[in-house]
Structure 1
Amino acid sequence: MAGPLRFELVSPERLLISEEVAQVVVPGAEGYFTVLRDHAPFMTTMKPGVVEITGTGGEVRRIYVRGGFADVNESGLTVLAEFASRVEDLRPDEIARQIRDAEEDLADFGDDHIRRTAAEKHLNDLRDVQRWISPA
Structure 2
Amino acid sequence: MASNGTLRVELVAADRVVWSGEATQIAARTSEGDLGVLVDHAPVLSVLVPGVVTIHSEGEVVAAVVEEGFLSVAENRVSILSEDAFLVDELDPAAVKAELEQARADEDEAAVRRAEAKLRGTELA
Structure 1 and Structure 2 fold alike (TM over 0.5): yes
Q: How many residues align?
A: 122
Establish whether residue 73 from structure 1 lines up as the match of residue 62 from structure 2: no
Match of residue 119, structure 2, among 108, 130, 134: 130
- Cα 1:91–1:71 change in 2 (3 A) is same
Q: What amino acid is the match of 2:97?
A: A
Offset of residue 34 of structure 1: 1.0
Offset of residue 15 of structure 1: 2.7
Offset of residue 100 of structure 1: 1.1
Unmatched 5+ stretches in structure 2:
none
Higher helix share: 1
Match of residue 51, structure 1, among 43, 50, 53: 53
Measure the CA separation in 1 of the matches of 2:86 and 2:44.
Answer: 24
Measure the CA separation in 1 of the matches of 2:23 and 2:30.
Answer: 19
The percentage of counterpart residues that share the same residue type is: 34
Q: CA RMSD in A?
A: 2.3
- Cα 1:17–1:123 change in 2 (3 A) is closer
Q: Which has the higher contact order (CA 8 A, sep 6+)?
A: 2
Match of 1:19 in 2: 21
Measure the CA separation in 1 of the matches of 2:117 and 2:18.
Answer: 23
Between stretches 121-130 and 8-17, larger displacement belongs to: 121-130
Offset of residue 135 of structure 1: 7.1
The alignment's TM-score, normalised by the length of structure 1, stands at: 0.76
Higher strand share: 2
Query: Would the aligned equivalents of 1:37 and 1:76 in 2 still touch at CA under 8 Å?
Result: no
Unmatched 5+ stretches in structure 1:
107-117
Measure the CA separation in 1 of the matches of 2:14 and 2:113.
Answer: 25
- Cα 1:42–1:133 change in 2 (3 A) is same
Match of 1:86 in 2: 87
